[in-house]
Amino acid sequence: MELYTKDYTLPSGQTKPMTIKTIETQHTSGVYAKRDLVIVRGEGATLWDEQGNEYIDCVGGQGAANLGHAHPAIAAAISEQATRLISCPEMFYNDTRAKLLAKLTSLAPAGMQRAFLTNSGTEAVEAAFKFARFSTKRTKIIASMRGFHGRSMGALSATWNKKYRAPFTPLVPDIHHVPYNNLEKLATEIDENTAAVILEVVQGEGGVHPGDAEYFQGAQELCRQHGALLIIDEIQTGFGRTGKMFALEHFDLQPDILTVAKSIAGGVPMGATLLGERVAELAPGIHGSTFGGNPLAAAASLAALNALEDEQLPQRAAELGAYLLNELNKIESPLIRDVRGMGLMIGIEIKQKVAPFIAALTERGILALPAGLTVIRLLPPLVITREQLDRVIEALTEILNAE
């Protein structure tokens, strides 16, 4: 479409009209497998491409868009803060950051009164590992098979998928993987050298696998017994996604460190590493970030957290999620192996590779995510309407029954 074809200046100085897709293809790093869509606008759980085609968004910014797109309160907070102060590193105090820290820690489990602010999920995990090693004076970290914790070297060392890890070895030493949701295997691995155990409450990238209550309680006890810290990674499950503000509330978990990001700031890049009472006082200078605690992101986050509460979005995710799971369970298709999830974090495991099914959904105006090779993952904004969900259910019924 004309509007989004830009005049592109070649190195020779000549200008040439090119599409968004060609420009990105020529200049992007190449690390992303791209879909053939140019998304230019959003509102609530709806996205539009450059030609004005409308889509129901079940990608939800890969978990960053719990509040939906173009949320007016978040847009207003960003705009107000931008006209006042954007840059203010943590060497200074700041009014907006202070309000955010008070709000964020008020939502966290009791006893988590401190937070280190980051700009992404992987940085929140890096900080968690550094603080756990600093605090315990131990090095060993235990993670889970199928777990995902990010792509920077430390977090990547805890991520399971070989495809992400293999090209970059050697990774950070003394990080070990045991099967998820298996207390016996964790008990065998944990010892007096263990600084921390890191767990997702629902494994997201690994295929939407929730753990059991006994597993989480057992893991927490094992950590206490051995003097290790329990790190819960709620980067994907946090901020209402599973039907509670944090998924750990379903299991009454009291982690020592909680990592969050994705929807923390209504889609603006931000993360946080929340610290419990068993984490030692941290010495000035041992860690830091130029953009961490940035007032613009803090303003967005404060507005997002207030909106999550005002609009009762965790509650909404619980109700709509239960409805969606129930309707999906009614689909009778020989292709379906399993339907599972919590709140509006749903995985549909099928007996074939999902790529053609994701494409078939796109043709029907629905954007969804894979999780591994055989799971269709739905992470819609929590503001999605019941009517939109019905269209998703209808489309899934169609594609899973088509020959």
Ligand X SMILES: *Cc1c(COP(=O)(O)O)cnc(C)c1O
Is residue 102 a contact partner of residue 157, using CB atoms and an 8 Å limit? Answer: no
**Shortest Å distance, C-beta 374 to ligand X:** 19
Cα 297–301–307 angle (5° rounding)? 150
236 binds ligand X (CB under 6 A): yes
**Shortest Å distance, C-beta 297 to ligand X:** 13
Nearer to ligand X, 235 or 361 (CB): 235
Q: Which stretch binds ligand X (CB under 6 A): 48-56, 142-150, 187-195, 286-294?
A: 142-150
Nearer to ligand X, 57 or 200 (CB): 200
Paired with 46 in beta bridges are 43, 56
Spatial CA neighbour of 378 closest among 56, 34, 42, 37: 56
What is the rounded distance in angstroms from the CA atom of residue 305 to the CA atom of residue 198? 25
Nearer to ligand X, 121 or 207 (CB): 121
**Shortest Å distance, C-beta 236 to ligand X:** 3
Among positions 148-177, residues that touch ligand X (CB under 6 A) are: 148-150
* Exposure string over 20-35, b if 16+ CB within 10 A, otherwise e: eeeeeeeeeeeeeeee
Identify the residue whose tokens are 């739905």. Answer: 378
**Shortest Å distance, C-beta 195 to ligand X:** 18
Pairing status of strand 175-178 against strand 140-144:
parallel
Nearer to ligand X, 62 or 79 (CB): 62
Amino acid at 46: T
**Shortest Å distance, C-beta 159 to ligand X:** 8
Q: Which stretch binds ligand X (CB under 6 A): 144-152, 184-192, 275-283, 334-342?
A: 144-152
Among positions 243-302, residues that touch ligand X (CB under 6 A) are: 261
Identify the residue whose tokens are 């070649």. Answer: 10
**Shortest Å distance, C-beta 101 to ligand X:** 20
Among positions 101-120, residues that touch ligand X (CB under 6 A) are: 120
Q: Which two tokens stand for residue 203?
A: 């494994």
Nearer to ligand X, 50 or 109 (CB): 109
Judged by CB under 6 A, how many residues of this single chain contact ligand X?
A: 14
Q: What is the C-alpha R_g of the chain?
A: 22
Residue nearest to ligand X (CB): 121
Paired with 29 in beta bridges are none
Nearer to ligand X, 261 or 348 (CB): 261
Is residue 122 a contact partner of residue 155, using CB atoms and an 8 Å limit? Answer: yes
Residue 226: Cβ-neighbour burial (10 angstroms; 0-12, 13-18, 19+):
middle
Nearer to ligand X, 50 or 246 (CB): 246
Residues in the chain: 403
What is the rounded distance in angstroms from the CA atom of residue 79 to the CA atom of residue 89? 19
| Residues recognised as catalytic | 148, 233, 262
Q: How many helices (H) and strands (E) does the chain have?
A: 13, 19
Q: Which stretch binds ligand X (CB under 6 A): 145-153, 311-319, 321-329, 355-363?
A: 145-153
Alpha helices in 166-262 (DSSP H): 183-189, 213-226
**Shortest Å distance, C-beta 305 to ligand X:** 18
What is the rounded distance in angstroms from the CA atom of residue 174 to the CA atom of residue 197? 12
Q: Which stretch binds ligand X (CB under 6 A): 40-48, 143-151, 305-313, 380-388?
A: 143-151
Among positions 176-235, residues that touch ligand X (CB under 6 A) are: 200, 204-205, 233, 235
Nearer to ligand X, 201 or 339 (CB): 201
Backbone torsions φ then ψ of 4, nearest 5 degrees = -105, 15
**Shortest Å distance, C-beta 147 to ligand X:** 8
What is the rounded distance in angstroms from the CA atom of residue 195 to the CA atom of residue 51? 52
Binding residues for ligand X, rule: CB under 6 A, are: 120-122, 125, 148-150, 200, 204-205, 233, 235-236, 261
